[in-house]
Amino acid sequence: MSDSHSTALMRFPPLEHFPRSAQMDGSNGTNRAVGGRSQISATTDIDAIKAWLARFVNSPHTFSNYRKEAERLLLWATITLRKPISSLTHEDLVLYQYFLTDPQPAAHWVMPAGRKVARSHPDWCPFAGPLSQASQRQAVIILNSMFSWLVAAGYLAGNPLSLTKQRARNAAPRVSRYLDDDIWLEVKRTITALPQESDREREHYARLRWLFSLLYVCGLRISEVIENQMSGFFCRRGNDGVDSWWLEVTGKGNKTRIVPATSELMAELLRYRREKSLPPHPTATETTPLLLPIGHQQRPLTRAGVHGIVKSVFKATAERIRAANPNNEWQAQQLEQASAHWLRHTAGSHMANKQVDLRYVRDNLGHESLSTTNIYLHSADDARHQETEQHHKIQW
C-alpha cells in the first residue's frame, strides 16, 4: 500500500473502525449529560452513535444515509476541530453547515471526479463534491434528529443544533418530476412492444410489467420494492362482504402501511409468479422478494439494479418518440432525466387529479399529512391557468 493510501485510510476510517482515544472518544465531552440516568450503555460518542443507528438496521437505505451524515460530522469534528462530537457547540455546527456548501480542502475531503469506491477502500472520501441546498437541509435534519435522540437518551446535556434557526423550506407549488398521461402511455407502449419469443424474453417482459405496476399502482419507492417480500400480500373481507387483496410494506422511517392490491395488480402478480414457476398466490410465510433477478436466483435485486432497469425503459422510450417526431424532443429529454421515483410522483399526481380522495392518496403513499399530498394536485393549477388565459388580458 502506498503512503498516500495509508494516509487516506488513517484520515477516513469507516465509523465501525474509528480510532478511540481518551481525548477524542467523547467520554469526557463538555456536552455530556451530568447526573440523571442514561438510557443507553454507551460511554463514548462512537457507541452512542451506533446505538442511535441501530434503530434503522431494518431499513438499509435509511441506515446508510443516517450513518453517512453521522460519519461525516464525526470526521470533520475530530480532524478539523480536534473535538469529539459530544463537545461540539452551536458555533461549531454553524461552521459545519458552511463546510457542507464546499468541503475544503477538496483534495482531502472530496472523491476524484468520476470515482466511486466502497467505504472500506483506501481511496474513499466522505464527499463527492459540495452538497446541494436540498442535501444540506437533509444533513441538518438527520443530525438534529441524532442530537435530539442522544439528549433524550441521557447521553448529551443539550442539542447544539436546536439553537440554529431553520429557514422554512419553500415547498414547490406542485411536484414537477412526474410523467403526464401522454408520456406515461408511451412508457407502457415500450414495455408491451417487447419481444416474447424465448423463455428469457417472456420472463423479462413479465418482470417489467410487474415492476412498473408496483411503482405506479402502489406508488412504492425503490427501497420498498427491494426490501419487502411476497408474504406482504394478504386477503381481507370488508364490511361489504367482498374479499379484497392488500399489500403490507415497510418503508421510509421503518413505517409500515397497507396498500390496496387492485385487481390489475393481482393480475400482474399472477402473471409474474407464473413466469417464475411460483404458486399463483403468496403465503403468509413466503420469503420470496417482491422482485427477483432473471433466472432461478431467489434474492432481492439491488437498488442500483432496479434503478438501471427503469432507466433503460425510459431511455428506450425517449429514443423511440424522438425518432418518431422531432417535435417531441422535450418529452424525450424529460424521460432521459426521469428516475424510478418519478413513477411514485406520477402515481400520486394521477390519483389526485382523477378525483381519488386525497386522504386515500396520502395513506397509499405513506405521507404524514395532506399538505405533502397536495403537491400532486395539478388539476387545480390547470383550471387556474385556463381561467387566467381566458379572462386576464393586457390587450395591447
What residue ranges of the chain are covered by domains with CATH 1.10.443.10? Answer: 181-386
List of E strands, 142-269: 233-237, 243-250, 256-261
- The percent of the chain in helix, strand and coil, each rounded to the nearest 5, is 55, 5, 40
Which CA distances in Å does 388 have to 7, 172, 212?
Answer: 63, 20, 37
Tens of pLDDT, residue by residue over 25-56, are 888 889 998 876 788 998 889 999 999 999 88
> Which of the residues in the chain have pLDDT under 50?
1-10, 168, 172, 370, 372-373, 375-381, 392, 394, 396
Which residues face 235 on adjacent strands?
A: 245
pLDDT of res. 176:
61
pLDDT of res. 376:
46
- Beta-carbon contacts of residue 194 (< 8 Å; ≥ 6 apart): 201, 204, 205, 208
Q: Please, where are the H alpha helices in 77-198?
A: 90-101, 106-109, 133-152, 181-192
> Sheet holding 256-261: strands in order across?
233-237, 243-250, 256-261
Tens of pLDDT, residue by residue over 143-189, are 999 999 999 999 999 999 887 655 545 554 555 677 888 889 999 99
Amino acid code (one letter) for 183: I
**Cell numbers of 208, please?**
417489467
- Give the integer Cα–Cα distance in Å for 386 and 352: 19
Residue range 181-386 in CATH 1.10.10.10: no
pLDDT of res. 396:
38
pLDDT of res. 3:
36
Please work out, in degrees rounded to the nearest 5, the angle formed at the alpha carbon of residue 254 by the alpha carbons of 231 and 345. 85
pLDDT of res. 368:
59
Gap between the terminal Cα atoms of the chain? 74
